[in-house]
Every structure is written in C-alpha cells, then in structure tokens.
Amino acid sequence: LFKIQVTKNLGNSTVVKILEMVENATAKKSKTEQFITKFARVYTPFVVCAAALLAIIPPLFIGGTFQMWLSRALIFLVISCPCALVLSVPLGFFSGIGEASKRGILVKGSNYIHALKDVNTIIFDKTGTLTKGVFEVAQINATSNYTEKTVLEIAAKAEKNSNHPIAVSITKQYQTKYGEITEEIQNYKEISGHGICCEINGKQILAGNEKLMKQFGIPYEVCTAIGSIVYIAENSKFVGSIVVADTIKQSSKNAIQKLKSLGIQNIIMLTGDNAATAKQISEELALNEYYAELLPQNKVEILEKILKKQNNNANVAFVGDGINDAPVLARADIGIAMGGIGSDAAIEAADIVIMNDDIGKIEDGIIISKNTNRIVNQNIVFALTVKAIVLVLGALGIATMWLAVFADVGVALIAILNSMRK
C-alpha cells in the first residue's frame, strides 16, 4: 500500500509543459524561414505579373498567336510556384528539432537550431552541470572549545530548512550519524550568496561562506581545503568550518574535449564556490577561463561583458540548472538547461533543454544544427537554380508542361525528401 499526494495541477506538470514547448517550437522561426516568408511575399506577385505580361505583350510586339503565349505563360506560372521553398525550409528545421528530441534534446524553436551552429563561446554553471551536484561532507574543522560533532550539529540545525545541495549534505550527514534534528528554528533567513542566519534556543547561528563572516564582523580561521567551505558561528563566535566536496561528472571532461574539437573557442565556468575549488575544476577540465565566488547577479554582469566581446556572427550559450541561473539562461543568445535536475524556472527560461543532464548532448545539438542548416541551404540553392533554368526555358517555349510539373512538384518532393535526411 502506498499513498500519492498531488502537488501540481495537470497544466503545471513537466509533461504538459514539454508538449507545449514542442507545439510552440514551430512558432519561433529561424532567420532563414523568415527570409523565405518575406521572399515568397514579393516573389509570388512578381511572377504572377510576369506571367500576365508574358501572355499579353509578346503577341502585340514580337509575333505569334495569343494562344501560344498564353500557354507559355501558364507553364511559366506552374514552374514559378514557390512550393519547394515554403515547404522544405520549415520542414528541414522541424526535422532537425525532431532528430534532436530523439536524442533527448528539447529545442523550443527552429531559430535556436539556426543559432546553435554559430556558437563559439559556451559558459557553464558548475554545480549540477559540470559536477554531479551531489555533495558529501569531506572534513570538519572545530576550534579548541568545540568538537566535530558539535560543529556538525550546529551547522545541521541551521541548514535544516534549506534545500541547497550543500545544506542537504550537511543535514544528511548529521542525521546518518546522530539521528533527527528536533529543535525549532526562529528568525530563519537565507542571505543570497552568503549563507544562513537564524536563532536556535536563543542563540544566533551563522552558517555560510567567508562573505557571511565578514558581513557580521566575525574573526574566523581560513580553511584552505579544496571544496565548498561552510563557516559556522554561534553568538558571534567562530566555532569551526565544514568542507563539502562535489565530484566532477564522468562525462564532463570528454564532453569539453569534443566541444573544443568542434571549434568552440571559449569554454568558461561560473560558480559561487571559492577560487581554489574553481581553479582545480577548471584545470582538470581544461577550461579556458573561470569566475568564482559569484552572486546570481554577478553571472549576468559577466555574461554581458562576454556578449560585448563577440562579433556579430558569433553566439554565446549558457548552460545551467538552478533557479538562480534563470536570468542568465534568458539573457544568453542560447540558454541550455538541465531537464532532469533543473529547476522549473531554469527549464522555462532556457531555449534548449537536455533531458538526461548529459552535457555531451551539446555536441550532438551543434552537429544536428550544422547538418540541418546545410540541408536547408542545399534545398534553397537547388530549388532556385532549377526554377531559374526552367523559367527561362518556359519563357522561350522550350519547356513543356511535363517539365514545368517537374520543376514544381518534382523539385518540391526532392527538397522535402532531402529535408528528412538525418
């Protein structure tokens, strides 16, 4: 026997949101599709007028029967029909979106398939993206008047109400060793980018990074261990620190190497962790650059600086999963979110969602993007070239109606079949 509690309406479920994203994907047209739409608006009335002139002017000034020139004009109209372009180009992008979805990559619009091929800078959030996001307590440092158990206990009580991965790891460690936490917490406050401030049994407890200690003016002993450091203070007195370690995903190193082989020039990491941890991970993954000890708003500021350095044809992609990544995902040329561990806000703000959290899928997405754009360009060149040649032949009376039908239906079918290629 088990019980199920519904926490969201059907309309707010992940499945429904994914279906809505897929349905809305065709509404976000790529630059190529927008060009073809504008081209067709001008092209269609132009060829209709040209066909009318072809039927009326030559019999009056060149010679020949009106019936002959009318026949040529009708053949000219059949040839000039833009079906091959207006069908194959959107279908080419939609086929690319479908291929990406088969590989677990949800693309919210063909404009992102188009833009992905021009990415030359990829910015990664660290926790949960490059690393597993599964933290474990690696080390407990206590001052002379406290034991490791006491430091862990104080930290666990303070972190009890937080769902941050670091907080969860500390609470879990205490519960595994010593049991459940029963104390009530008062005046609980999470200070963005710093840590937690609360009261337990009338004592003020602080648990966070160095910025939190400096903010409250508490002298502390700097911990140089590699990992995320949580400094603990009780009633304005430093009691110790806890080192929480995260591990790099096995797929991250291989994924970074493959992205570099595709010609991605800059791979950058942003993190709120300390500089020592960021440097270690950056060197291990052979990243081009990293920024550490960042607040959520700092990530947007850094992204803005990177965007200003880009040339007009290059795009910047940001890859993240947390709710604090949502502004950066929305601001980047292409926002890529982790669909498994990603927050609802991150998934909503992103342009592309990787459903299994494997950043190796970014390489697949870029390859699909390049293949899709190449096929679309092939269709455009093929359709326009064939039509231009047969239009001239039709105007000269060389092309028959059968050739005209091929230039219309035949070219459209060939372009559509080409669009369906992987």
Question: Does residue 199 sit in helix, strand or coil?
Answer: strand
Give 395's Cβ-side CA count (13 Å radius).
15
Contact predicate 245/277, CB 8 Å: no
Find the helix or strand (DSSP H, E) in which 234 lies: strand 228-234
User: Which one of 118, 125, 333, 358 is the catalytic residue?
Assistant: 125
Contact predicate 355/339, CB 8 Å: yes
Task: Copy the structure tokens of residue 89.
Answer: 């180009």
Closest to 227 in 3D by CA, of 169, 268, 175: 169
- Distance, in Å, from the CA atom of 100 to the CA atom of 351, rounded to the nearest integer, reads 13
Task: Copy the structure tokens of residue 204.
Answer: 């003020």
- Distance, in Å, from the CA atom of 76 to the CA atom of 399, rounded to the nearest integer, reads 9
Specify the DSSP class assigned to residue 384: H
Beta strands in 72-113 (DSSP E): 105-107
Residue 125 designated active-site: yes
- Distance, in Å, from the CA atom of 105 to the CA atom of 341, rounded to the nearest integer, reads 15
The residues facing 189 across adjacent strands are: 197
Question: C-alpha distances in angstroms, 282 versus 6, 124, 137, 250, 264?
Answer: 41, 11, 22, 15, 16
Contact predicate 282/288, CB 8 Å: no
Find the helix or strand (DSSP H, E) in which 239 lies: strand 237-245
- Distance, in Å, from the CA atom of 85 to the CA atom of 378, rounded to the nearest integer, reads 11
Order of strands across the sheet that contains 266-270: 105-107, 352-354, 334-338, 315-320, 119-125, 266-270, 289-291
Query: What are the residue numbers of the active site?
Result: 125
